[in-house]
Structures are given as C-alpha cells and as structure tokens.
Structure 1
Amino acid sequence: MASQALLLLGLLPLVHLFLFLASAASVQDLLRAHGLPPGLLPRSVESFSLDPASGLLEVRLDYPCYARFDSLVFFDRVVRGNLSYGGLHGVVGVAQEELFLWLPVREIVVADPSSGVIFFDIGVAHKQLSLSLFEYPPQCQPGTEGELVPGIGEGFRGRHEKGLEEER
C-alpha cells in the first residue's frame, strides 16, 4: 500500500506536465509557464512537443526565417533545446548576426525576471538584452532557398552568403 502511494506521488509531476501540455494553446504559453518571454520564437510555429522526461523542446516552424530583435536572427525549420524554468539550454536551430558573422545561439536564460534582462550565449560572448524586446512573437520573413548561414550547422539558410558572393 505504501509503495503504491509512493508510485502515485512519483507520477504526479508527469501527470501535471501532461495535463499542462494538453491544455497549452501555444508554445508561447509553454514558454511563459517556464519563466521565459513568449516572443522568443516567431509567429510561424507549426507545432511543438516537449519530452517530459528529458525536457527536450522541439519546435517546428512553417519555414526557415529571419526576425529582428536588436539584430537579425535566423530560425531554422526545427528549433530544439532543453527547457527548464528560466532557461533554454543546448539550443539548436537559432543563429544571430553579429558584426557580419552568424553565430549560433547556444543558451537563453532569464536568471532574474525582475531585472528585465535576458541573456543569450552566442559562443564567443554572452549577450544581455531587454526582456521587453521579447514580449510578442516577431513576424518572421522567409529565407531564400539555397542560401546558407555558414558555421551554424546543417539546414541553416541565410542571406549574407549570397551577398558575399555577389561582392567578389
């Protein structure tokens, strides 16, 4: 009897998460429930899933696209990361343009929501931005087929590669 009660208590968080996901209307609701701003991802989200055991969030977009926050950001068709309260770690599928270079976004963290600041790990630096930039999901402009964002991984498309070739 005691072992059954312990088993039920152990399953309770998973049941709670399943019920939340079933009732979550959007990925923006999921981000908000995990202490992240709803505008981290563009409006063009086709679907999303969260593995309750690992915390792996997978978001499928309608198409690879660009959005502008403080600089240009590229979203691949699939964006993944390990979701925890206040953070998205091990991010794959997002790159940010800095000084004409495309850098992968590796981690996104809101350490203290009252600070009004969100941190982005872009490999060579940690970027600090205002949370107010991420209040609403941005409109995302499709990338042109066949253009690549170098150094980010397979499947990334970008504008600047073609521009560099035209300048040569």
Structure 2
Amino acid sequence: MASESLLLLGCLALLLPLASPGSIHDLLRAHGLPPGLLPRAVESFSLDPRSGLLEVHLDYPCYARFDSLVFFDRVVRGNLSYGDLHGVVGVSQEELFLWLPIREILVTDPSSGVILFDIGVAHKQLSISLFEYPPECQPGREGKIVPGIREGFRGREEKALEEQR
C-alpha cells in the first residue's frame, strides 16, 4: 500500500510541470513550439484550457529580430494547440518595407528543424534554431521605428562570430 502511494505521488510530481508551466516559454515548449517565439519582455499570460486561447501581455510594444524585423504589440493572442498557434493577433513581420500580420505559427514535424509562418500573402519557412532563445525586445510602435533600431539589431550569427573572435 505504501509503495503504491509513493508511485502515485511520483507520477503526480512528473505531471505537475506539464499542467502548470512556470513561464510562457515553458508553455510554448510543452506545446511543441520553440520558446523563443515570444520575447523576454512578457509581463503575464493566461491560457484557457477549454478553448486554447492564449493571451500574452508584454511589458511594452517592441521589436525583435529573427530573420527580419518583427513587431510585438502589448497584447498578443492566439489559439494554442500542440505544434500550432493560429488566429494570431498582435504580431507583425516586416517584408519588403511592408508590415504583414503573422496569422499562424506551425511546427508540423519537429525533426525537420523547420517552423512555418503564415503571413497572409505567403507562407514563410524558417529554421527552428532561430527561436531557441527568447529574444531581447526594443521598445517601439508598429511602423514607428525608433531611430537607430534597425542598425541596433544584429543577427545572432553575427553576434556569435564576434564573440568567437
């Protein structure tokens, strides 16, 4: 009887981290998405377990760079399921000097190393490795880039090469 109770407690302890992840980045990872999809500037988040509605509140609207410049509004929403964040609101990506809303983020096969972004007019495939770590985020408003922001961002590859020198 005592060993059965210990086994049950051990199983519950393993399941608890899956039931209530500590950060938004842990939650994304638990749902098969890379943790660096959202910046470090997350103030709070909530997930409705029935509908899958995820609502993320950032400290401030901001810009981050992955392969291009991405804008995060103060509130980001989407429907979260395993490997998919669809119906995304509050995230835009700059393409050819146009700001296009990101509507869906999808990882169909984690072993492929590819993540798919639906930006309305096209689908964009990027390496999941770009989203391994939550990016730093520079304050700003969509379309109103603070002078020097574009120049202030350098790709992670450039930073890594510079650190190796």
Amino acid at match of 2:36: G
Aligned-residue Cα RMSD (Å) equals 1.8
Aligned residues: 132
Deviation beyond 4 Å, 4+ runs, structure 1? 16-19
Partner of 1:20: 19
Q: Which runs of 5+ in 2 are unaligned?
A: 1-14, 147-165
Partner of 1:103: 100
- Secondary structure of 1:31's counterpart equals helix
Partner of 1:154: none
TM-score (normalised: structure 2): 0.76
Once the 2 structures are TM-superposed, how far is the Cα of residue 20 of structure 1 from its aligned partner?
1.4
Amino acid at match of 2:95: E
- Secondary structure of 1:57's counterpart equals strand
1:82 equivalent among 79, 84, 94: 79
CA distance in 1, matches of 2:17, 2:133: 25
TM-score (normalised: structure 1): 0.75
- Secondary structure of 2:46's counterpart equals strand
**Cα pair 1:104 1:122 within 8 Å, conserved:** yes
1:53 equivalent among 50, 53, 56: 50
1:33 equivalent among 25, 30, 33: 30
2:68 equivalent among 66, 71, 86: 71
Amino acid at match of 2:107: V
Query: Taking structure 1 as reference, are residues 111 and 17 closer, same or farther at Cα in structure 2, changes over 3 Å only?
Result: farther
**Cα pair 1:17 1:52 within 8 Å, conserved:** no
Q: Which runs of 5+ in 1 are unaligned?
A: 1-15, 150-157, 161-168
Once the 2 structures are TM-superposed, how far is the Cα of residue 148 of structure 1 from its aligned partner?
4.5
Partner of 2:127: 130
Query: Taking structure 1 as reference, are residues 84 and 117 closer, same or farther at Cα in structure 2, changes over 3 Å only?
Result: same
- Does the alignment pair 1:115 with 2:112? yes
- Secondary structure of 2:19's counterpart equals helix
Identity %: 81
Amino acid at match of 1:159: I
CA distance in 1, matches of 2:18, 2:26: 13
